[in-house]
Structure 1
Amino acid sequence: MNKIISKILSLKIGKGKELKNKEKVIQSAINKTTVEEAYLTNIGFKGDDQVHKEYHGGPNKAVLFYSSLTYDKVNEVLNINLDYKDISPLGENLLVSDITEDDICVGDILKLGEAVIQVTQPREPCNVLNINTKTKEMLKTVIKYGYTGWYAKVLEEGIVKQTDSVELVERIYPNLTIKKLNEAKANPKENLDFIQEAVSCEVLGAPFKKALEKHLG
């Protein structure tokens, strides 16, 4: 197939730092900065930290994608103006163009420069998004509208550059879009047939699959 579907607008990595809100101080690597290129290993980009490894990172969550189009929707819904080109308000490694959660499916194999990755699941956001963006409705909005971004695992390691395209190599599960998966998790009773289909997918990340399986009794 090898069809160009998107461009990398910025490539971001970061170290763990303190984040403060009114109640407490937490450690997080959500704040990332742009680099021209980075080597993508099977557990993520070299130089990119994961503070809470029980929830973030690891082989099935090696890369977090977010779309500039989705950022624009977030800004519109919340009537804010997040700057997302050179920093990462929502913690992504790769900011991409032209595609959203409606255009990407679990199982999609994508080529990024020298690396080849496979989409595994939607991102499952937490309240660090509120703290980092200083927007109390951020988490609620991301969950409500499915503006989650998506994770991928690495099939072939290699250098990824900020100027690289995103090529679709193969689409294995065309019905399992990130958008539909988010909708199924938010409204399980209305999507039981879809959930049954989703949990039978070997590629779907274990945390997300477990969250869906509990609705099947």
Structure 2
Amino acid sequence: MRLLSISTGKVISLFGNHHPNYKSVASAINKKSISDLQNLQSVEITILGVKGDEQADLSVHGGIEKAIYVYPAEHYAFWNELLTRETKRSVNLQHGAIGENFTIEGLLETEVFVGDRLLMGGLEFSVVKLREPCFKFNAALSYKGAAKAMLQSGFSGWYLRVIKRGLLAAGTEITLIPGPRNTSIAQQNQALLHNRNQKDLWE
């Protein structure tokens, strides 16, 4: 298990017909990698996440409880195939495109539980909850069904709280320290799928 990329984003306007009430909406979902396996740049991780990263709506993203958004690189093939098929154009998403701060490999939603701790170098993080997709994700990927596809696939990723801050670079190995192991991220996703009104996703 290792960290492949660290990404940040600035708040910009997203445009499109991905919500009936908005022609544009502010979001920092478009992240760009600032440390990857070709550029092992050390990045400062604070209690609020990656230094320089922004969030447009702190009620749903960011803050201490959602400081870092983690996404498994293994899911990128799913998105590239889906978007290429649905948009009728070749799609090859780069790390950060799902809105994540950390792109990782070797650890999936079925293997991660709320309360688990992740150690990366001298830094420590705690798993908080899954990421819940919304219409901004549809706008970011230019596909109205993106949020629904994330929910139905279970490829949600998850949020981390920063327990021990410091400098971190891509390529760092990840160690998982199990917590109570009561609820996995995959189980959270299944509960959300069964309880959520699909119209909220504006597919």
Shorter-chain TM band: 0.7 to 0.9
Q: 2:64 aligns with which of 54, 59, 65?
A: 59
**Partner in structure 2 of residue 182 of structure 1:** 189
Quickly say closer, same or farther: Cα 1:148–1:175, change in 2 above 3 A. same
Quickly say closer, same or farther: Cα 1:150–1:34, change in 2 above 3 A. same
**Any idea what the Cα deviations from partners look like across 1:164-185, whole Å, max 9, x if unmatched?**
11111x2112242110111122
TM-score by length of 1: 0.77
The alignment status of 1:171 with 2:170, answered yes or no, reads no
Quote the Cα distance in structure 2 between the aligned partners of 1:26 and 1:173: 38
The runs of 5 or more residues in structure 1 that have no matched partner are 1-5, 189-217
**Any idea what the Cα deviations from partners look like across 1:150-204, whole Å, max 9, x if unmatched?**
0010111111101211111x2112242110111122235xxxxxxxxxxxxxxxx
**Partner in structure 1 of residue 166 of structure 2:** 158
The one-letter amino acid of 2:72's match is S
**Are the counterparts in 1 of residues 84 and 91 from structure 2 also a CA contact under 8 Å?**
no
**Are the counterparts in 1 of residues 128 and 160 from structure 2 also a CA contact under 8 Å?**
yes
The runs of 5 or more residues in structure 2 that have no matched partner are 36-41, 196-203
Quote the Cα distance in structure 2 between the aligned partners of 1:89 and 1:17: 14
Please give the secondary structure, in 2, of the residue aligned with 1:147. Answer: coil
Quote the Cα distance in structure 1 between the aligned partners of 2:191 and 2:77: 24
* C-alpha deviation, 1:100, in angstroms: 1.4
Alignment of 1:71-150 (within 5 A): 71-77=76-82, 80=85, 82-86=91-95, 88-150=96-158
* C-alpha deviation, 1:79, in angstroms: 5.1
**Partner in structure 1 of residue 26 of structure 2:** 27
Percent of counterpart pairs with the same letter?
A: 30
Quickly say closer, same or farther: Cα 1:77–1:175, change in 2 above 3 A. farther
**Are the counterparts in 2 of residues 74 and 147 from structure 1 also a CA contact under 8 Å?**
no
Taking CA–CA contacts closer than 8 Å with sequence separation of 6 or more, which of the two structures ends up with the larger relative contact order?
Answer: 2
* C-alpha deviation, 1:113, in angstroms: 2.4
Quote the Cα distance in structure 2 between the aligned partners of 1:18 and 1:49: 13
The one-letter amino acid of 1:75's match is N
**Any idea what the Cα deviations from partners look like across 1:134-165, whole Å, max 9, x if unmatched?**
11111111111221110010111111101211
The alignment status of 1:43 with 2:48, answered yes or no, reads yes
**Partner in structure 2 of residue 194 of structure 1:** none
**Are the counterparts in 2 of residues 113 and 158 from structure 1 also a CA contact under 8 Å?**
no
* C-alpha deviation, 1:38, in angstroms: 1.5
Please give the secondary structure, in 1, of the residue aligned with 2:60. Answer: coil
Count how many residue pairs are aligned between Structure 1 and Structure 2: 181
**Are the counterparts in 2 of residues 10 and 85 from structure 1 also a CA contact under 8 Å?**
no
**Partner in structure 1 of residue 201 of structure 2:** none
Quote the Cα distance in structure 2 between the aligned partners of 1:185 and 1:20: 27
Quote the Cα distance in structure 1 between the aligned partners of 2:101 and 2:131: 12
The one-letter amino acid of 2:146's match is M
